[in-house]
C-alpha cells in the first residue's frame, strides 16, 4: 500500500475512532506516518529485537498542561502511526482470523482493508487516549473493557 493510500485510510478512520464530542478538543496535534519506529524511539520505548509499535503519542497530555501552555510559540504534540507494523499486524490478524470486520467499514460497504481499517482505528483511539492523559495501564484496561 502506498503512503498516500495509508494516509487516506487514517483520514477516513479518524472520525470512526474518536467520538465527535472529543474531536473538538484535539488541538495543536500533528498526525504523522512513518514506516517504522526509529532506533532512537525503539531505545526510548525499551523495545526488544522482535517488538515494535503501531503508534506513538509524544507531547504534553491535556491534564498536564498548565495555564502557561500555548503562550508564545508552542510546538505541536504528535501522534505517529507506523505503517509497516500496522500492515503486518493487519495481515497476521487476517491470517489468524482474530479480527472480524465490524463497524463503519461494514455499514458503508467498505469490506476491503477491513482488518487494516480496524487496527488503524484502534491505534488512533489508543494514542488519543494518551493525549487525554491516560497512562498505558489505563488505556489497555479500557480497551479490554471495550472488547469484552
State the CATH number of the domain containing residue 120: 3.30.2010.20
Q: Which helix (H) or strand (E) holds 21?
A: helix 20-23
Provide the phi-psi class of 109: left if phi over 0, else alpha when psi is between -120 and 50, else beta: left
pTM: 0.84
Average pLDDT, the chain: 86
Q: In 3D, which of 26, 4, 8 has the Cα closest to residue 117?
A: 8
The C-alpha cell 458503508 sits at 108
Q: Which residue has the cell 463503519?
A: 104
**C-alpha to C-alpha distance for 121 and 36, rounded to whole angstroms:** 18
Confidence class of residue 63 from pLDDT cuts 50, 70 and 90?
confident
Confidence of residue 109 (pLDDT cuts 50, 70, 90): very low
3-state secondary structure of 78: strand
As to burial, measured by CB atoms within 10 angstroms (0-12 exposed, 13-18 middle, 19+ buried), residue 82 is: buried
Residue 138's domain comprises 3-147
Residues of the chain with pLDDT > 70: what percent?
89
Residues 6+ apart with CB under 8 A from 86: 54, 55, 116, 119, 120, 123
Residue 110 has pLDDT above 50, yes or no: no
Which of the four pLDDT bands, split at 50, 70 and 90, describes residue 106? very low
Domain total for the chain? 1
| Start-to-end C-alpha separation, the chain | 31
Amino acid at each position: 500500500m502506498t503512503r498516500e493510500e495509508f494516509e487516506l485510510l487514517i483520514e477516513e478512520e479518524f472520525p470512526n475512532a474518536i467520538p465527535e464530542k472529543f474531536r473538538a478538543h484535539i488541538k495543536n496535534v500533528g498526525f504523522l506516518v512513518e514506516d517504522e519506529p526509529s532506533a532512537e524511539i525503539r531505545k526510548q520505548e525499551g523495545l526488544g529485537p522482535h517488538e515494535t509499535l503501531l503508534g506513538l503519542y509524544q507531547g504534553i497530555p491535556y491534564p498536564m498542561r498548565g495555564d502557561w501552555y500555548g503562550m508564545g510559540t508552542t510546538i505541536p504534540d504528535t501522534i505517529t502511526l507506523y505503517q509497516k507494523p500496522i500492515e503486518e499486524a493487519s495481515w497476521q490478524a487476517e491470517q489468524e482470523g482474530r479480527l472480524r470486520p465490524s463497524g463503519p467499514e461494514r455499514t458503508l460497504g467498505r469490506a476491503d482493508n477491513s482488518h487494516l481499517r480496524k487496527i488503524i482505528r484502534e491505534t488512533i483511539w489508543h494514542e488519543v487516549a494518551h493525549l487525554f492523559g491516560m497512562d498505558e495501564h489505563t488505556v489497555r484496561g479500557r480497551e479490554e473493557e471495550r472488547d469484552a
